Amino acid sequence: MMAQIQKDNDRLDLAPKKFNMWVFIFTSFMFFAALTSGFIVYSGGKGHGLNVIMPSAFLYSTIIIVLSSGTLFLASKASKALQFSKQRMYLWLTFALGIAFFAMQVYAMYVLTYKMHVYFVDTNASRTFVYVFAGMHLAHIIAAILLLLNTLSGSYRNVPQVRNLYKMEMTSIFWHFLGIIWIYLYVFLLLNQN
């Protein structure tokens, strides 16, 4: 009886935090929508097209983030089935893919700057938007990696299952959202690269 009451109290305590996550996701979505709108308005002017072929590293990072969503889904499935060793394994794989995504994005910006000579400070601000899109997304990825590490550390501690599932759910919501946002940004840049 007391365990059930504690479970119910845990669920009630976690509900406002979940709401805050959805508010954060909505504001992040609006932020990226505003950036792409700014790009459209600016690049609509004469001679302000991007005129840059996106580096292939952006494609590879897109594949990596899709794979990481898959491994995080498997971690969530394992946590619901009380398979904690599988949950940790898939969380570690997701973490490794998150680091790989981050590294590939940094490499893409390196290619833009040093091989393609597309600079952050450019007379054509459309090109600056590429760095802003990628940089702002990377800032969100850092937050997602920290959230993932928090979930991973919780899986090693003896936390109640309701909290373990809550951490998995919050991490999954944020991680999958960032995957969707990156795919949106990548497709947007591909459609506007000429």
Whether 3 maps to a domain, the answer reads no
Whether pLDDT at 1 is above 70:
no
- Percent of the chain clearing pLDDT 70 (strictly above): 91
Whether 8 maps to a domain, the answer reads no
Report how far residue 55's alpha carbon sits from residue 65's, in angstroms, rounded to the nearest whole number: 16
pLDDT at 103: 97
Q: Over the stretch 65-75, which tens digit does the pLDDT of each residue have?
A: 999 999 999 99
Nearest CA to 185 out of 36, 40, 34, 31 is that of 36
Q: Over the stretch 2-37, which tens digit does the pLDDT of each residue have?
A: 555 555 555 556 777 788 888 999 999 999 999 999
Report how far residue 178's alpha carbon sits from residue 162's, in angstroms, rounded to the nearest whole number: 24
Q: Mean pLDDT in the chain?
A: 88
Whether 135 maps to a domain, the answer reads yes
Predicted TM-score (pTM) of this structure: 0.88
Whether 5 maps to a domain, the answer reads no
Whether 77 maps to a domain, the answer reads yes
- Least-confidence region, from 55-59, 114-118, 176-180: 114-118
Whether 7 maps to a domain, the answer reads no
- Split into its structural domains, the chain has a count of 1
- Domain interval for residue 77: 15-191
The CATH number given to whatever domain includes residue 180 is 1.20.120.80
Q: Over the stretch 133-191, which tens digit does the pLDDT of each residue have?
A: 999 999 999 999 999 999 999 888 878 888 889 999 999 999 999 999 999 999 999 98
